[in-house]
Amino acid sequence: MLSCDQSGQKHMAFVADISSSENVEKLMSQIQSCFSRPPCISVNSAGITRDEFLLRLTEEAFDTVLKVNLKGTFLITQAVARALVASGTSQGSIINLGSIVGKVGNLGQINYAASKAGVEALTKTAAKELARYGIRCNSVLPGFINTPMTQKVPQKVLDKVAGMIPLGRLGDPSDVADVCAFLASDDSSYITGASIEVTGGLYL
């Protein structure tokens, strides 16, 4: 996790296993100790895959993906929200990375799809609960983005997918980052509970 102060001048990187509540509590303590305040912006982007077709998927692979993608998002969201409420801060923005796969499914990704569908539902519910404290919660649903995760996909499959995208290309990480920056800013102060697709128009 990367944290910075309000001026953006001071940055610190922290390593943590976000699937462990003990580690998340330790992480929050480190951040508050370093910056003397809780984080008012949280972008939960940790995610893993263990792809396999349903008939061959192991229970361990299913649990591992949900533990990081869904439970980890829950623990960070809860920890940040608790810290903000306890501090009396009247505003905050929590941005959780889901996936378009959580809406439409994808072959060989039943665990990943389930985890990302859960992230979207978790975010909408958190938005309803936390609005009274001035904390906004939104999710970003990337499509096929040029990352190490998609580099594992055969090129012929990626070419076929690109042909299905109205904008004609896979996304870049900056496409997702720009949406997250918008949701973190005051320009989105009246947006909460939203799920913003960053897919180039795929699945319209």
Q: Which residues are catalytic?
A: 112
Sequence-ordered list of residues with C-beta below 8 angstroms from that of 3, at least 6 positions apart, any chain = 11, 12, 13, 14, 31, 34, 35, 39
Containing 81, the helix (H) or strand (E) segment is: helix 72-87
**Are the C-beta atoms of 70 and 96 separated by less than 8 Å?**
no
Cα–Cα–Cα angle for 77, 80, 84, nearest 5°? 135
